Amino acid sequence: MPVSILQTRNLEKTYDDNGVPVHAVRGVDLEVFREDFLVIAGPSGSGKTTLLNLLGALDRPSAGSVLFEGIDFSSKTKSELASLRLHRMGFIFQAYNLIPVLTALENIEFTMMLRGIGQSERHERADALMNELGIGELAHKRPNEMSGGQQQRVAIARAIITDPAVVLADEPTANIDTATGGALLDLMEQMNREKHITFIFSSHDPQVINRGRRLLYLRDGRIEHTKG
């Protein structure tokens, strides 16, 4: 029987837009299982990114709850949530969010540095993963010396280097061509299969949606339908 890793219960997120309430997420009940390859889909403005941010403890709900491995985010302080993100989650952002002044190797090592892992171990693990992902030649290049696809591969490596339980990816193929996007999805499917990492995507890209083993379709902040 599948084991749950993330759950939401009647999840709500409302923003104030110059005095006008914007209901970005409305009454979402969701269960994510270990080793899921789940895509949250829907049109622009449907609440995909907001929901992903709530699942990743990057934002707090207006109502309802998010539970990660049975722990309610609302019971945790900001510092405790930051520690949970650091130790149990990985993030892949649409804009890559690589640190411009650092090389690819240093960007990948950064999360390990925050966790207090020693320099020699950091370097050994990052170097091994870069070679495994076919980006070893990028080790000493900075983001502005890389293509979009190369930057996204570095971002994926940074997200999985600490063997997180779950990786949350926001529109991971948005800024790259179809062939590169397909290769990156192949890579993430491999990481899901071999390293047992749970992946949750937000995307309106048909290529990503077609790869998802489970699909959650949002419209106006509500779940319209699910598949798988």
Integer Cα distance of 161 and 111 in angstroms: 8
Q: Give tens-digit pLDDT for 7-47.
A: 999 999 999 888 888 899 999 999 999 999 999 999 888 99
Bridge pairing between strands 214-219 and 222-227: antiparallel
- Ordered structural domains, the chain, with CATH: 4-227 (3.40.50.300)
Evaluate if pTM is beyond 0.95: no
| CA proximity to 143, closest of 104, 92, 88 | 104
Q: Give tens-digit pLDDT for 158-177.
A: 998 988 999 999 988 887 88
- Is the separation of the CB atoms in 131 and 149 below 8 Å? no
Asked which of 45-54, 115-124, 174-183 is least confident by mean pLDDT, the reply is: 174-183
| CA proximity to 212, closest of 154, 157, 149, 169 | 169
- Residue 18: its pLDDT value, please? 84
